[in-house]
Structure 1
Amino acid sequence: MSISHSHSVPSTVSPERIQEYGVGLFDAIPTKSALKKALKKGHIRVNDRIASTATMIQGGETIVYAPPLLVIPKRSFKLKLQVIYEDDHLAIIDKPAGILVSGNQFRTIANALSQNLEVSPEQDAVTPQPAHRLDFATTGILLIGKTAESLRRLSKLFEEKKIRKCYYAVTIGEMNSSGIIDKPIDGKKAVSTFKCVASQVSPRFKLLNLVKLEPETGRRHQLRIHLSELGNPILGDRDYTPENLILKGKGMYLHAFSLELVHPFEDRSLVITAPFPERFIKLFPSLGKL
C-alpha cells in the first residue's frame, strides 16, 4: 500500500537527468542523496515506468513518487527497548550498548523498533527509522521518525544544526577543565566543546574524568577522535586508545545524555534525557542524582 505524489513536467524544460531535475520536487525527498535513494528503491516512476538515475527528462512527462506507507519487515529483531518519549510523529529511545543502530545486519535497533513503538495513525506512516546514528558501543538518546514527513523534517533540523546534543564520557588522564576542540576529521570541519565535571584517582589509569561534551558538528566518531587527539581517550574505546590503556570487557564509557529540539510539528520544545548506565554511576556516584 502506498500514497503517491505526482508532478507534471513542463514541455519547455531543457533535457536533464532526473537525479538533477527531481531534487526538491517532492517534500519527502529534498536532497540529491534522498532522491538517489528513492530512485534506487524504485519509488519513482516516469510515464509509468520505474526511473533510474540515468532516466532523462525531456519535457511533458509525468513523474510519480509512490513510497510504501508501512513496510513491516518479514522478521523483527526481538529486543525490549526503553521508550523515553513517543507521539504520532516521532519517538525517542534509550539505546543499549553493543548493538548497531542500523545496517545490513539483522541484529539492529532499526529492526527492533516496530515491536516497541505504536503504529502512527498519520497518512504517511512508515516503518519507524532512526533519524541519526550512535556508535555500536555508545548508549543513550536516539531519535526515531515514524512518518515520512517526520523523517524529512528531522533530517533538515540536523542539517541546520537545530538539534542540540549533549554527551558524557569518562576519559583517561589529566586534562583541562574546559575547552573547544576544532580539528578537521577526514578533511571536514569538526568542532566539539568539553567541560571536565569531575575527576578521581585511578590505580590503573592514574586519573579518570567525567566529561560533558557538546558536538557542534556530526562527523563519524567525532567525540572519540577529538578526545583521543587531546590525549584523553575515552575509557573502553578500543579504536582510539593506546594498547596499554585499553579496558576490556566493560564497554565504552560514552553516553548520549540529552537532546533538545523544537518539535517538528508542534510549537514546543523537547528536552529529553536518558539515565546514565550503572557503570557510569559506579565510577561517579553523583550521576545517580542527575
Structure 2
Amino acid sequence: MDVIASHIAVEQKIPIRLQEYGVGIFEVCPTKSALKKALKKQLILVNGRIATTTTYIAGGERIELKATERKHKRQVVLALKVLYEDAYLAVVEKPAGIIVSGNRFLTVANALEQNLQKSDVLDAVVPKPVHRLDYPTTGVLLVGKTSSAIIQLNQLFENRQIQKVYYAVAIGKMDTKGRAEAPINGKASVSDYQVEQTLVSERFGYLNLVKLYPKTGRRHQLRKHLASIGNPILGDADYGKPGLVLTGKGLYLHAYSLQFVHPVTQAVLLVKSELPKKFMKLFPMF
C-alpha cells in the first residue's frame, strides 16, 4: 500500500501515546475515534513499523499514513462521457436506461471509477454521485471525488445553490411560459418552464421543446408537473395520457446544465450536455 501522508513528530517532554498525539495530524483522522480505526486497520507507520494503540511518541519519529487497500471487484463495462473533471469533483453524462446507483451491478456509480482519473487529494474516495436522475432521463450528473467535496456538494443541493436546467418535449398546446406548483408527496414543489419551439403533430396535436427550471428537487418532479398542467412529456409511460404514449424512443427529458460555485476553488462552473439526437430530429433548427 502507498504512503499518502507523513508527519515528523514534535519533541515531547514526556513520551505520549500515539493515539493521543496523532489526533488531527492527518486530515482523514480528525478525531480520536478515526485515529483508532486507522490504527486497527494497520494504516499508520512509525519509523517504518506498523503502529498500535500502545505506540509512544517522544519526538522526531516519522509518522506515515497508508492508503486503504481496495478489494478487487468486477468492473462495470460502461463508457461515460466526462464533461468536467478536477481532483475534487466531476460532471458526467448519464445515458438513458441506466440507473444512477442502487443494488444492481450495472449502474453509473459502479462505472465512475474506471471513467474518472484518480484524485490525489488526501481525503479522496471512490467517486460517488451526489444527486439522482431517473432511469430514462439523460444528461448532466454531478459526482464527488473526495469526502469533503461530497459533503459540500450535498449542502449546495440542500440549500438550492445549484441551478439546474432541463429540456423536454411536451405534448399539447402550451402557454409560452409558466409555472407548475402542484405539491408532490405533500411537499411544496415549483417548476418554471419556457417553450422554445412548437411543431404541429398529426398524432399528438402539438409537440413543444420546453426549457425547464426546477426550483425544488422532488422525485419525478418535472414529469409530474408537466402532466399536472396537461402537457405530459413525450414517451412518459408513467404519467402520459392513454393513447398518447410514444413507445420505443424512451423519455424525452434531458438534464441540460448545472451551474454552481465550486466548493474548493470558488470558481463559478457552468457545465452543459448537448441535446440528444432524438430531440434534434424533431427540432432540427434549434
TM-score tier, shorter chain, comes to 0.7 to 0.9
How far off its partner does 1:183 sit? 1.5
How far off its partner does 1:73 sit? 6.2
CA distance in 2 between partners of 1:71 and 1:258 (Å): 33
CA contact (8 A) 1:171 1:208 kept: yes
2:112 is matched with: 113
CA contact (8 A) 1:165 1:260 kept: yes
Aligned AA (1:6): T
1:89 is matched with: 88
Q: Deviation digits for residues 140-192 of structure 1, max 9, x if unmatched?
A: 10000000001000000000100000000000000111111112100011100
SS of equivalent to 1:167: strand
Aligned AA (1:113): L
CA distance in 1 between partners of 2:196 and 2:275 (Å): 15
* Structure 1 residues 44 and 158: CA distance shift in structure 2, 3 A: farther
2:226 is matched with: 227
1:1-150 aligned at under 5 Å gives the runs 3-6=28-31, 71=70, 74-150=73-149
CA distance in 1 between partners of 2:113 and 2:75 (Å): 7
SS of equivalent to 1:5: coil
Is 1:241 the equivalent of 2:240?
yes
CA distance in 1 between partners of 2:224 and 2:69 (Å): 38
CA contact (8 A) 1:227 1:234 kept: yes
CA distance in 2 between partners of 1:116 and 1:4 (Å): 29
Is 1:252 the equivalent of 2:256?
no
Unaligned runs of 5+ in 2: 5-27, 41-66
* Structure 1 residues 91 and 4: CA distance shift in structure 2, 3 A: same
* Structure 1 residues 73 and 157: CA distance shift in structure 2, 3 A: farther
CA contact (8 A) 1:69 1:123 kept: no
Q: Deviation digits for residues 30-79 of structure 1, max 9, x if unmatched?
A: xxxxxxxxxxxxx997xx9xxxxxxxxxxxxxxxxxxx967566122110
SS of equivalent to 1:286: coil
* Structure 1 residues 80 and 44: CA distance shift in structure 2, 3 A: farther
SS of equivalent to 1:244: coil
Aligned AA (1:94): E
Aligned AA (1:185): I
Q: Report the number of matched residues.
A: 233
Q: Which has the larger radius of gyration?
A: 2
1:181 is matched with: 180
Aligned AA (2:263): P
Unaligned runs of 5+ in 1: 9-25, 27-42, 49-67
CA contact (8 A) 1:69 1:126 kept: no
2:279 is matched with: 280
Aligned AA (2:220): H
How far off its partner does 1:242 sit? 1.8
Determine what percentage of the aligned residue pairs are the same residue. Answer: 51
- TM-score where L is the length of structure 1: 0.76
Aligned AA (1:240): Y
Aligned AA (2:29): S
CA contact (8 A) 1:173 1:231 kept: yes
How far off its partner does 1:268 sit? 1.2
Aligned AA (2:90): A
SS of equivalent to 1:113: helix
Aligned AA (2:284): P
1:158-237 aligned at under 5 Å gives the runs 158-237=157-236
Aligned AA (1:104): N
How far off its partner does 1:117 sit? 0.2
1:54 is matched with: none
